Amino acid sequence: MTAIRAAFKAYRMHQVLIMPRFARLTIALGLATAVFPVDAEYYFNPRFLSNDLAESVDLSAFTKGREAPPGTYRVDIYLNDEFMTSRDITFIADDNNAELIPCLSTDLLVSLGIKKSALLDNKEHSAEKHVPDNSACTPLQDRLADASTEFDVGQQHLSLSVPQIYVGRMARGYVSPDLWEEGINAGLLNYSFNGNSINNRSNHNAGKSNYAYLNLQSGINIGCWRLRDNSTWSYNSGSSNSSDSNKWQHINTSAERDII
């Protein structure tokens, strides 16, 4: 009886030692044969647009998330969610051909309110990013620490996010003198005209009377000068109370220019 118990005990110990090895082997085989999903790039067959492979359009950039080709776009520029100006901005593709990078010159950034000293003081940060001096077509975040840009192609909005410490204080509605311009040479003319004709058939005051009135507001823009004139013309005939009249009347003339 004692021999039987010893044999049964030895069998159970052997079973305990074997089971963990068997379990580990099963798990290893399961991991080896498991299938994991792998991200694959989207592909659009250019032959849907043209049967000629020589004329096929390269759509690889658009499959990576870029919404427009490089080029010059008329965009509304926002700095920290505040509209600043509308400009023609040139965009280039980044090294991965996945995003568009706006070319923002130092003069433009300064005109938007970014401190020029901040751009100069961040040369150490730019050196770490291997940014050449006066490189406009460089990501803004490589020129200013913690800055970023976002281009909304559909709305044609270019949003700049810049830490407030790099932005100078400006009065609301302030326009940098660098953006002032005299405008184009042009001629202007506004007019207002009205008139009437009355046919009086009464027995005591028969007859016909006519009345007309014209107001002219003209102007000329030449360089920085603005010339304005206001004149009127009136015509009256057939009135029983007064004689016929046909008269021009000059109201005023003015010339003005900005003095800075």
Contact 112, 79 (CB under 8 A): yes
Question: For the chain, how many residues are written?
Answer: 260
pLDDT of residue 62: 52
DSSP conformational letter for 130:
T
pLDDT of residue 148: 92
**Which residues in 19-171 belong to E strands, given as ranges?**
71-79, 82-93, 100-102, 148-152, 157-161
* Domain spans in the chain, listed from the N-terminal domain onward: 67-178, 186-257
Contact 119, 144 (CB under 8 A): yes
CATH of 67-178, one of 3.10.20.410, 1.10.150.20, 3.40.50.2000, 3.40.50.300: 3.10.20.410
Please give the Cα distance from 239 to 107 (Å, whole number).
68
pLDDT, one tens digit per residue, over 113-166 is 898 888 876 655 554 544 444 456 888 888 888 999 999 988 999 999 999 999
Instruction: Of 176, 113, 114, give the one whose Cα is nearest residue 143.
Output: 114
Contact 98, 167 (CB under 8 A): no
CB within 8 Å of 209: residues ≥ 6 apart? 197, 198, 200, 236, 237, 238, 239, 240
Mark the ranges of the chain whose per-residue pLDDT is less than 50: 8, 14, 16-19, 22-23, 25, 28-29, 31-32, 38, 54, 127, 129-134
